[in-house]
Chains A and B, each alone.
Chain A
Amino acid sequence: MIVVRHHGTVMPDNDCRWEGEGMDRYILARRLRRDLLSPRMAVILLASLLLIGVQWWTTDHASYVIADSAPNFLCDVMLFSQYGTGSGLYLFLLPFLAALAGSGAVSTERHYSRLGEVVVRDGRARFLRTSMVSGWISGAVGGVLPLVLNLCWAAACNPHLEFIDGTEFDAQGMFLQRYVLISSMSWMYPVYRVNQVLCIVVVVLLVAAISGLYAALGVGVSFFVRRRYVELIVPFVASLAWWMLPALTGGLVPDQWSHVIFLSIGPGSTDGLRAQNVVGLALTVVLLAGASVGLLMAQERRDER
């Protein structure tokens, strides 16, 4: 049996369906191609270059001298370097960039009045699930793009990856007056000490996963809110509120629960607070995934009624 698709593509039925998962590989590929080649991705590319520029400028033109160190291209990369304001700005904008890349699956189809046609062709439940997964993947790509470009640029300019010791203070608490990339008091330092490439991979995957989840949240919101661009704003506002929880709760919630802090792996934190980075990571993943899946299930249940 063969199925003739919308654009005239002929493909075997058993090749285009993931049985039991309610997703269509063909729709997913089409959706991803549309997301990744959209003008929105060009905006993210431009934002990436601006962020890398901010990181370079604020590091290279700081009013202090950064000590020499063993050659390591990570010294010029956001999230890894303790210097420069690019890291903070990138992490602050991350949910917006992710949503820009991946949250438009439903709202774009609705805006161009294609939603009914697509739903009829693909099936409502399959369309919802595929939109969620494509949003997650596109959001992950969009969110991690500035970091990956920064890694590539820095590695091309300075292709060295020598280990830099992260010990900042002696036993008396006196600063050791040397360059430190990732502090030995950072929660990611054990991974960095074991293997630098592994550390890069872990950080890239974490940024991608969290970006994808923010984009999926935006897709979930767009199931219920018909107004366009709300899917871009909600993940950013949710991230902002989560980041501001220490202020809103009078310090009951530690700073480390926000991805803006726990993904900035260069600086260290005290012994008691280091574990809070892991708690923050777990809470972020669970809450974002839970919210996205919850919105998907609520929409599916609403469709069944």
Chain B
Amino acid sequence: MNTRSVWTRAATVLAVVAASLCFAAPAIAGNTSQSSWSAYLTSWNTSDTPNRQKQDTSNGFIRADHVSGGRTIRAWMLGYSNEDVRSGTVTLQSGTSGYVTNQAYQLFDGPKQVHMRLQNTQYYSTGTEAAGVWSPDSR
């Protein structure tokens, strides 16, 4: 076997390993990219963010960049079909954020589509406009 052939084989093996690591990376790092959410909350009605895949056992993350009227809202995590994922709640006002404890990954033995649910904490007569970012994983 000549030297060029060895280098070619080594490069091929390296490429395969690198490619597999690329695919494995999300499972190791978790789905931590922050996507935007916005909601218009009336009385006790709830509003959901779109679903995203939860890829590890870490807490979810949510930040409220804006909550109208100086109001307070709460957020928690649910599964794709609104399954209970043993989520804790976070209280949010404008400019605050929180980690949402949950057991989605453990309860469903692996990756699971989840969303955040939002609700007013008081019985207001007008709607609450709220917006921010969230991610299903935090590490």
Contact assessment for B122 and A177 in the assembled complex, using a CB-CB cutoff below 8 Å? no
CB atoms of B125 and A269 under 8 A apart: no
Q: Say if the beta carbon of B108 comes within 8 Å of chain A.
A: no
Among the stretches A119-127, A168-176, A287-295, the one at the interface with B is A168-176
CA–CA, A214 and B84, complex, Å: 42
B87 proximity list for chain A (CB < 8 A): 63-65
Q: Is A244 an interface residue (CB 8 A)?
A: yes
Chain B residue nearest to A255 in the complex (CB): B124
Given A88-B123, A177-B101, A255-B122, A269 and B91 touching (CB < 8 A)? no
A188 within 8 A of B: no
Interface residues of B, count at CB 8 A: 33
Say yes or no: B98 contacts A174, CB within 8 Å. yes
Contact, CB under 8 Å: A85 / B125: no
A247 to B43, CA, bound (A): 13
Contact present for A269 and B95 (CB under 8 Å): no
Residues of chain B contacted by A273 (CB below 8 angstroms)? 69-70
Which residues in A have their C-beta under 8 angstroms from that of B134? none
Report the minimal beta-carbon distance from B96 to chain A, rounded to whole angstroms.
Answer: 4
The residue from A67, A175, A177, A246 contacting B92, defined by CB atoms under 8 A apart: A175
Contacts of B35 in A (CB 8 A): none
Residue B57 is within 8 A (CB to CB) of chain A in the complex? no
- Is the CB of A211 closer than 8 A to any CB of chain B? no
Most B-side CB within 10 Å, residue of A63, A89, A254, A269: A63
> What string of 1s and 0s marks CB contacts (under 8 Å) between A81-95 and chain B?
010010111011000
Judging by beta carbons under 8 Å apart, are A65 and B122 in contact?
Answer: no
Bound-complex Cα distance A92 to B88 (A): 28
Residue of A nearest to B121 (CB): A267
B70 near A272 (CB under 8 angstroms)? Answer: yes
Asked if B51 is at the interface (CB within 8 A of a chain A CB), the reply is no
Is B97 part of the contact surface with A, judged by Cβ < 8 Å?
yes
User: A247 to B88, Cβ gap below 8 A?
Assistant: no
Whether, in the assembled complex, B82 has its beta carbon less than 8 Å from a beta carbon of chain A, the answer is yes
Q: Which of A22-30, A200-208, A222-230, A258-266 contacts B (4 or more CB under 8 A)?
A: A258-266
Q: Which of B103-139 contact A (CB under 8 A)?
A: 117, 121-126
Pick the interface stretch among B11-19, B23-31, B71-79: B71-79
Residue pair B96, A267 in contact (C-beta under 8 Å): no
What are 12 A-B residue pairs whose CB atoms fall within 8 Å in the complex? A63-B76, A67-B88, A82-B74, A82-B121, A88-B122, A173-B96, A175-B96, A243-B125, A247-B126, A255-B124, A266-B121, A269-B72
